[in-house]
Amino acid sequence: MKRKLLLLHESIKQDWRYLALLAYVIVATLTVILHVLRKGQEGVLLDGYLSTLASIIATLVVTTFSFVFVALQLASVQFSPRIIRSFFEYDHFSRFFLWSFLACVGYLMGLQYFGLSDASLIYPKFGIVGSFYLILLVFPLFIHHVVDNINASSITQNIAKRTVNEIGVLYDTSTLNLSESNRLLILNKESGYLDSILYNKLFKIIPSDNQSKIVVKPHVGSFILEGMPLIEIEYVESEREFYQKNRTKIANQFIISKFRSYEQDIPFGIRQLVDIAIKAISPAVNDPTTALNCIDYLGLIIKKAALSNTVSKEAALLQQKNIHIREFSFEQLVDLAFDQIYHWGKEDYIIVRHLVKTISFILPFVNDTEKLYVLLAEVEDMELSFLREDYNELLKKEDTICPFKRAEHRNSLRDYLADYYEVSIKQIEKIGLTDEKLKSIKKSYERNRAFVLRHRE
């Protein structure tokens, strides 16, 4: 129900005529009700009240658009100066907001000029109700609308939609048939991000004695093009008619949005922290403290993931009816959390040191050998082998590059790397003594720790 109201609201916002008609109907209805219930005393003029409302509305318009233009200017610097033009040219709700507020101010002033401000008349009531409608409903909606529309996802989606619509007008387009003889594909109806899946409703739709294999193709948070498969069903012939009949109902359990959200989408939170960290360590911002703060909280997320099952509760529930969903693995989460930060910050010993330290903090919480492999591989991929060698000998090798020229930086990294080796050895002894590969890693780490401590400068 909530989603249907949201879709109705979005469709109405696309045309100023619908907006104006809806506003008029609401205000006129409320005005008639007010006039019937409280006619007002004849001879009492509402000039002062109408003037106050007019000044409030005029102040809101001026103040709001001052902030809007500042926000648009900042957005144009970050994205493109051409987005300012599209804000009014294609945005019907912004145009409705401006002209409805100006029309309301003109109407209130006109009532006073033509002497129609008597409390017994319906005209001032229409102006008063309209003013409150604009202030209490339209104004908050406009603020939300502006915040939503200057978001990068909204800007890119609007540009793409206008371009795709123009292609549809100018050219004939063909359709792609993806169906196969023994498989049913349920296709996506609109392009956007898979915001969430209504798992419980999907579970109820599918029969308890289902024998067909149902595979959800995209994972939550991925971008899906219109016409891409949402679900692939390898049906048995006896269940074919059921799935043909309910394909729309099944497709409606997949919520498509122009934004990603935190609901069911674990990588989205990680992605945001990584974006903040990368921007913080860029030369333009140069704020390593913020980057370190992001790494700390990424460590918190990965630690929680390390303690969690690899299969979610929803996936386990759906598997009871032979429904299989795609989920992110622990390795993908770790790579998403640390790889890009290391790539952009590998020449800053503080960033590299903090990444090693954070992984060292996570290791004691890992009780699964596969997850332990993932974390150990993450540090191995950082290419810190030069810390186990003498710096003077290292300079003689043409194929080896050391990004840290100061001995104190290299020694600091060696200390943290030695701590990492020590924690790793203890954790391997705790959970992986029966694993031959981990035994080999343990011996290697014991040697590496000795080398690192020995080559301090």
Same domain, 98 and 125: yes
pLDDT of residue 402: 66
Let me know if residue 175 belongs to a domain.
no
Q: Give the model's pLDDT for residue 354.
A: 93
Residues, the chain: 457
227 & 278 share domain: no
42 and 138 belong to one structural domain: yes
Print the domain residue range for 8: 2-166
CA atoms of 231 and 217, how far apart (whole Å): 6
Residue at a domain's end among 105, 136, 166: 166
In a domain, 309, yes or no: no
* Beta-strand relationship, 213-216 and 323-324: parallel
pLDDT of residue 409: 76
Residue-level pLDDT, tens digit, the chain, 457 residues: 555 555 555 666 666 677 788 888 888 899 899 888 888 778 788 888 889 999 999 999 888 888 877 877 777 776 766 666 666 667 788 888 888 889 999 999 998 888 888 888 888 999 999 999 999 988 888 888 887 777 777 778 878 888 888 888 888 777 666 556 678 888 888 888 888 888 888 888 888 888 888 898 888 888 988 888 888 888 888 888 888 888 888 888 898 888 888 888 889 999 999 999 999 998 888 888 999 999 999 999 999 999 988 888 888 888 888 888 888 889 999 999 999 999 998 888 889 899 999 999 999 998 888 899 999 989 888 877 666 666 556 555 655 566 667 777 777 888 888 888 889 888 888 886 677 788 888 888 888 888 777 766 6
Q: Is there a single domain that holds both residue 252 and residue 396?
A: no
Q: What per-residue confidence (pLDDT) applies to 12? A: 60
Do 6 and 136 belong together in one domain? yes
Measured in degrees and rounded to the nearest 5, phi and psi for residue 230 equal -90, -45
Among 110, 140, 166, the domain-final residue is 166
- In a shared domain, residues 352 and 413: yes
Partners of 183 in beta bridges? 180, 234
Kindly give, in sequence order, each residue whose CB lies less than 8 Å from that of residue 233, ignoring residues fewer than 6 positions away. Answer: 183, 184, 185, 186, 212, 213, 214, 215, 243
* Single residue among 103, 138, 166 that ends a domain in this structure: 166
Edge-to-edge strand ranges of the sheet holding 183-187: 183-187, 229-234, 213-216, 323-324
Q: How many domains does the chain have?
A: 3
In a domain, 83, yes or no: yes
Say if residue 277 is in the same domain as residue 240: no
Structural domain contains residue 6: yes
pLDDT of the residue at 129: 92
Smallest CA-to-CA distance from 213 within 199, 233, 231, 229 is with 233
> What's the confidence (pLDDT) of residue 336?
93
Q: Are residues 224 and 144 in the same domain?
A: no
- Evaluate whether residue 177 is within a structural domain: no
- pLDDT value at residue 394: 58
Supply the pLDDT for residue 358: 94
pLDDT computed for residue 332 by the predictor:
92
Are 59 and 153 contained in the same domain?
A: yes
The answer to whether residues 342 and 241 belong to one domain is: no
Question: Is 264 part of any domain?
Answer: no
Which residues contact residue 273 at a Cβ distance below 8 angstroms, ignoring those fewer than 6 apart?
294, 297, 298, 301, 337
In terms of domains, do 100 and 199 share one? no
| Same domain membership, residue 157 and residue 84 | yes
**Domain CATH code at residue 249:** 3.90.1170.30
Parallel/antiparallel/unpaired status of strands 213-216 and 183-187: unpaired
Residue 428 inside a domain? The answer is yes
What pLDDT is recorded for position 391? 59
CB–CB of 139/64 below 8 Å?
yes
- Position 302 in a domain: no
